[in-house]
Structure 1
Amino acid sequence: MGFREYRGSRQHTHAHFVLTGHTSFEDEPPLLEELGINFDHITQKTMTVLNPTKETDASILGDGDLAGPLVFCLMFGSCLLLGGKVHFGYIYGIGGIGCVSLWCLLNMMSLTGVSVWTVASILGYCLLPMVFLSGASIILSLQGVLGQILATLSVGWCSLSASKLFVSALAMHDQQLLVAYPCALLYGVFALLTIF
């Protein structure tokens, strides 16, 4: 009993090309453009977080790209994993609850609404100092006074950057301290995950 040979070919008719609008692969946009990944915005947001005293361009904050925040969350979890702490579920769970909570709070505080993706993007980018703290926890023990000082500085850096980005994105002048407090609470939980 033999197997039949199947010799099929994929033929596209003229109607297929007319319906899809593409005549070749050269006419299609690049994959990163289709996915909405803009390396220039990622670099600008990262530099804004690294230097919170720098003036923020509000136009880069409107999009809710999650490529950079996902990379920073993975880096944070990987550094904790190298230190012997498996907290990926806690990172994404606390991050998700924090994003939704801060989204509700910011929608109540601002005159213009904000999308949950923008909140997740800003909170994820501002997680970068926590990545540095978790990287330091691989080399150093953060259980003593040095760990408390580094954790306090990291939480302050994260919350200052996040509140500055939220205030400039939502035009919430003179409300940075009100936004910084819940951000500090959220990043404080991440610091506790790093220390203990």
Structure 2
Amino acid sequence: MSNLGQIDTDFYQSNYTIDDQEQSCNDANMYGNLYGSGEQAGGQFQPTSLVPPEMLTSSHPGQVFQPAANSDYYSQSPYIDSFDEEPPLLEELGINFDHIWQKTLTVLNPMKPADGSIMNETDLTGPILFCVALGSTLLLAGKVQFGYVYGMSALGCLGIHALLNLMSSSGVSYGCVASVLGYCLLPMVILSSCAIFCSLQGILGTLTALLVVSWCSLSASKIFTSALDMEGQQLLIAYPCALLYGLFALLTVF
């Protein structure tokens, strides 16, 4: 039994003393002072230079600072300002319903003076819509003429474009010519709509077609005269326009 007691004593015997424990605590405090320079006396953590000081808040002592949202910081961001300054999507696509409505009213009223600044735009939204409407109304009247409508429109725009560049000193773009001729096709759409309900192959239909051709050509010549500053040449511009719209009238009547 004495041997067992000696074995237990030897097993639990250690060289670790209270002085060693105090020395380890002192060493821990020393290392804490070296690497814990970012901590305050109250245990608070000092913010680093990577985070703006105005974005750090602490409601209670002893808590770790957390980044807080700053509305002034984000309101001054250039990316947010760039999104606010972007134009609407329709304006980026070149679709302005106000200008479309003004051009339509100018075509419907040949005596109304045209605004040259608006009419000089290459807006093709209205012309494409009116070309599709003309082909659709001819289809409802039993005439499949979509190819003729598009072909004559393209060739007519090329001819009028070349003629206007020879007559005017400033010149005109092809998009502007196509836009004006397409908007002035609106009276022809009205004529083709009438052909759905009644036949135009008669004296009344012929007179109505001549009236609509004159309406379209006068509206187009008025717009070209205002946009290109070609005063006194409206009749010279109206004649080739009347020939072009006469072809559309032949498609509508016959």
Q: TM-score range by the shorter chain?
A: 0.7 to 0.9
Relative to 1, partners in 2 of residues 1:23 and 1:89: Cα closer, same or farther, differing over 3 Å? farther
Q: Does residue 1:123 correspond to 2:193, yes or no?
A: no
The structural deviation recorded for 1:108 is: 0.2
RMSD (Å), alpha carbons:
1.6
The structural deviation recorded for 1:83 is: 0.3
Relative to 1, partners in 2 of residues 1:29 and 1:185: Cα closer, same or farther, differing over 3 Å? same
The structural deviation recorded for 1:25 is: 10
2:155 corresponding residue in structure 1 = 97
Q: Does residue 1:49 correspond to 2:86, yes or no?
A: no
1-structure distance, mates of 2:187, 2:233: 23
**2:207 aligned residue (146, 149, 158):** 149
2-structure distance, mates of 1:144, 1:135: 17
Relative to 1, partners in 2 of residues 1:110 and 1:31: Cα closer, same or farther, differing over 3 Å? same
1:87 corresponding residue in structure 2 = 145
SS in 1 for 2:152: helix
Quick one: higher RCO (CA 8 Å, sep 6+), 1 or 2?
1
Q: Does residue 1:135 correspond to 2:135, yes or no?
A: no
1-structure distance, mates of 2:126, 2:199: 28
**Matched residues, percent identical?**
64
Larger gyration radius, structure 1 or structure 2: 2
1-structure distance, mates of 2:187, 2:147: 20
1-structure distance, mates of 2:209, 2:200: 8
TM-score, structure 2 length as denominator? 0.67
SS in 1 for 2:251: helix
1:100-137: CA deviation from partner (whole Å, max 9, x where unpaired): 10000000000111000000000000000000000000
1-structure distance, mates of 2:205, 2:82: 54
1:118-161: CA deviation from partner (whole Å, max 9, x where unpaired): 00000000000000000000011011111101100000000000
Relative to 1, partners in 2 of residues 1:187 and 1:22: Cα closer, same or farther, differing over 3 Å? farther
1:51-80: CA deviation from partner (whole Å, max 9, x where unpaired): 010111111012110001111111111100
**1:164 aligned residue (192, 203, 222):** 222
2-structure distance, mates of 1:149, 1:31: 44
1:3 corresponding residue in structure 2 = none
SS in 2 for 1:36: coil
1:32 corresponding residue in structure 2 = 90
Matches within 5 A, 1:8-19: none
2-structure distance, mates of 1:142, 1:56: 31
Aligned residue pairs total: 176
2-structure distance, mates of 1:137, 1:171: 37
